[in-house]
Structure 1
């Protein structure tokens, strides 16, 4: 059997008017995302020298430099950034084609297990996974939502989405997005305590809610912005899951830090522009052999697409203010439709069967 290097030897330079070679583009996309030939080589199970030659072939085909090599990794040129966006669109189209073909011949079957932090699992992936399961009806999707990191090397899950940088050297890992966190407050809280003016005003005159759980950086955030402030009398509530954290803030328990996409959940939360924000990178990890299993490979590809910052701007590296998310989200559907299961809906008025019973005139 030929090595990847030998199998790729037949690739030819691009001729204007021909479709770009997806194998070359896929390699470029992986190197650009990871930022290093060495790390990308580990990810793709190929040699760094082979990847470098493939990128050079792509550059010669288009007669332009796409990336520059440095001691600490690679940097994309202006043309490289443009090609990166086009490559992402090719990847998305490729995934769409895979879904269509598999819908036509749904041959995948079995169980796939994905572990994810509780908030991202509940509010984002669970609604999306319905689409994946319908595309592959022969699959049983086991979604595990908890703040503890799953040990995929010990096969606790086939893949995991987490908010801390994976430190196990044998893991396959991809940064798939970024979570932007900022403080929010509910209208009911403002009615009682007033609108917070700045960070000092919060420390002196307000109450906060903390999510004290793994992968949230709650302790680091508290030490940075409320150093020396005793929690008793200042922290109104501590909780260990995202759902309780969201509801306590929405009901007015205190000011709390939430992802910038939460206004789409339906509650009228108010973002506070007081310069107290932070970010958490979103990482996908899986066992080195996981991609050899077709059903797991499909779930990995789908998960990467689900956190594409180009399509879902609240997961992009650049901060997008909550008030600008609908404008930045380029799809035609309202943003709240992505979280339709959680938005508020008007409930029908319940009409008593015997409306006059209270007045004593019923029969």
Structure 2
């Protein structure tokens, strides 16, 4: 099968338009159209439904688009691997992690990484969805559970517990509960039960709600929960690592905590020799060591 025709087909399928695909490929619309028709003839199949607003893939077109998308991702991976074996630490590194960990722990520490590697370009993708590392949706992942995908190098970084926090000023103005049932006199700030979150946090919130909580503020991520706590709206359910970076918050009911949440760093086996990945991995390792040292002090 002619690779040039497949490349042009993929561009058309991705853009949904002959004209837009031609612009990206620096080809005329008629040249793109001829290549697509030639591919359809060679396959004896119709790949697009054509209508006034653009092009829609047929069932056969969807099958071929899935195949070309996988091929291009593999080519991107091979290209990155070749470049990483020769280059210094520069270029783009796509890092995925959860919104909470990415905004509250990782992003504030990236200053040190950029100071060491100013030509590195981090694309930080914060979402709860688990991206497919072998298919190169991202280069590196930090996840709140051990990755299950095959062909990944994985390293356990640390453990996190969800705990109760309030500000020192809230404690001075309102006071803090000394028993779980006294939580009913306070507003609880936590993630919405319907939002994506670690199971340990959801379980802890469910247990806390049994204390007849009368006032509640729910947010769909931990960054929002933290903002509520910092503005003295109540007592929040937050990761324990925040106690180091936000000294104005204090533990509430220290005996209450979620079960352990393991934090893993993972990247594809094929990026083992990547200088960008190695630089990021070593940076994270150094930051974890520094974080653990503060816990001992």
The aligned runs of 1:343-362 (5 Å cut-off) are none
Alpha-carbon separation, structure 1, partners of 2:168 and 2:108? 27
Q: Which deviations, in whole Å up to 9, do the C-alpha atoms of 1:187-221 show, x marking residues without a partner?
A: 4544665321111221x333211123433333211
Give 2:198's aligned residue: 216
Alpha-carbon separation, structure 1, partners of 2:245 and 2:130? 25
Corresponding residue pairs, total: 207
Give 1:313's aligned residue: 292
Higher helix proportion: 2
Give 2:59's aligned residue: none
Q: Determine if the alignment matches structure 1 residue 194 to structure 2 residue 175.
A: yes
Compared CA separation, residues 193 and 154, structure 1 to 2 (3 A):
same
Choose from 139, 148, 153 the match for 2:120: 139
Gaps of 5+ in 2: 1-86
Q: Determine if the alignment matches structure 1 residue 183 to structure 2 residue 164.
A: yes
Question: Post-superposition shift, 1:312?
Answer: 1.6
Give 1:162's aligned residue: 143
Q: Secondary structure at the match of 2:256?
A: coil
Question: Post-superposition shift, 1:304?
Answer: 2.8
Q: Determine if the alignment matches structure 1 residue 117 to structure 2 residue 98.
A: yes
TM-score (normalised: structure 2): 0.61
Choose from 256, 277, 282 the match for 1:301: 282
Higher strand proportion: 2
Alpha-carbon separation, structure 1, partners of 2:287 and 2:99? 16
Q: Secondary structure at the match of 2:149?
A: coil
Alpha-carbon separation, structure 2, partners of 1:307 and 1:216? 20
The aligned runs of 1:221-260 (5 Å cut-off) are 221-227=204-210, 233-234=214-215, 236-260=216-240
Kept after mapping to 2: 8 A contact 1:147/1:241: no
Q: Which deviations, in whole Å up to 9, do the C-alpha atoms of 1:335-355 show, x marking residues without a partner?
A: xxxxxxxxxxxxxxxxxxxxx
Question: Post-superposition shift, 1:246?
Answer: 0.4
Question: Post-superposition shift, 1:230?
Answer: 7.0
Kept after mapping to 2: 8 A contact 1:187/1:252: no
Q: Per chain length, whose mean CA-contact separation is higher, i.e. which structure has more relative contact order (CA < 8 Å, sep 6+)?
A: 2
Aligned-pair RMSD on alpha carbons? Answer: 2.7
Alpha-carbon separation, structure 2, partners of 1:183 and 1:280? 15
